[in-house]
Amino acid sequence: MILDDYRLAVGGGCPKLPPQVDVGETSSAVRLRVRYTDTPFACLKYTTVTLAAPLGQRQIVDMTTGQAIPVDDRRSGEQLNPIAG
């Protein structure tokens, strides 16, 4: 989820510990790889990622697949890259 133009909350999905997040930034995209180090169970943990440059209109994509990641944008209340269905 986009908290503001410099901070993303990454994770969720009920892991025991917050995820490890790898971040790659270009002028057109922010690439994320999220890794969990434990087995999921009942809780909700996020890691806050601080970007080097403002997110602006850059796309947020999965570093492994290159696919756009659906993201809740708390700046506007909209969902970016919604899941097609």
Residue 2 within any structural domain of the chain: no
pTM greater than 0.75 (yes/no) = no
Question: Is residue 22 assigned to a domain?
Answer: yes
**Model confidence over 7-44: pLDDT tens digits?**
988 876 555 566 778 888 999 998 988 776 665 554 55
Q: Report how many domains make up the chain.
A: 1
The beta-strand segments (E) located in the chain are 7-11, 20-25, 29-35, 46-50, 59-62, 71-73, 78-80
Give domain status of residue 23, yes or no: yes
Q: Please write the tens of the pLDDT for every residue from 66-82.
A: 888 888 888 876 666 55
Indicate whether 42 belongs to any domain: yes
The domain in which residue 54 lies consists of 7-71
51 falls in which pLDDT band (50, 70, 90)?
very high
DSSP assigned state of 55: -
pLDDT at position 85 is: 42
Dihedral sign, CA of 68, 62, 74, 83? positive
Assigned domain for 83 exists = no
- How high is the pLDDT of residue 33? 84
